[in-house]
């Protein structure tokens, strides 16, 4: 079974980890399990949010004017807390 938290920027959080574990428990309960054997808990990359700003220019007839030639760009990783486990049933 596999469950994730909502997406966050840069890295996961304790709250996100708790959210992923709760979702994993709920998924296990849907198949009749009363426990989960955890196999993996950690952050999962979901891509990068990229932002870029470029220079501009104005052209009129035969003359050109370029203002602020150059560009700036960057990216911020998007991650989710992830939990994986095996749904189990423990007899009383």
Give pLDDT tens digits for 2-36: 666 666 655 667 888 888 889 889 999 999 999 99
Domain positions in the chain are 2-49+76-88
Q: What is the pLDDT of residue 87?
A: 92
Do residues 28 and 1 make contact, with C-beta atoms less than 8 angstroms apart? Answer: yes
Band the pLDDT of 43: cuts 50, 70, 90.
confident
- β-pair partners for 44: 80
pTM: 0.59
Is the model's pLDDT at 74 over the cut of 80? no
Is the model's pLDDT at 53 over the cut of 60? yes
Candidates 50, 42, 32, 34; CA nearest to 2 is 42
Average pLDDT value for the chain: 75
Q: What does the angle CA 7 – CA 78 – CA 46 come to, to the nearest 5 degrees?
A: 80
Tell me, letter by letter, the H, E, C secondary structure of the chain. CEEECCCEECCCCHHHHHHHHHHHHHHHHHCCCCEEEEEEEEEEEEEEEEEEEEEEEEEECCEEEEEEEEEEEEEEEEEEEEEEEEEECCCC
């Amino acid at each position: 079974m596999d469950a994730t938290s909502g997406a966050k920027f840069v890295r996961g959080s304790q709250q996100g980890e708790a959210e992923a574990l709760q979702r994993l428990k709920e998924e296990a309960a849907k198949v009749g399990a009363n426990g989960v054997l955890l196999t993996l808990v950690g952050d999962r990359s979901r891509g990068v949010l990229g932002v870029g700003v470029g220079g501009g220019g104005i052209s009129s007839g035969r003359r050109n004017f370029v203002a602020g030639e150059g560009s700036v760009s960057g990216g911020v990783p998007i991650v989710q807390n992830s939990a994986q486990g095996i749904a189990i049933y423990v007899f009383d």
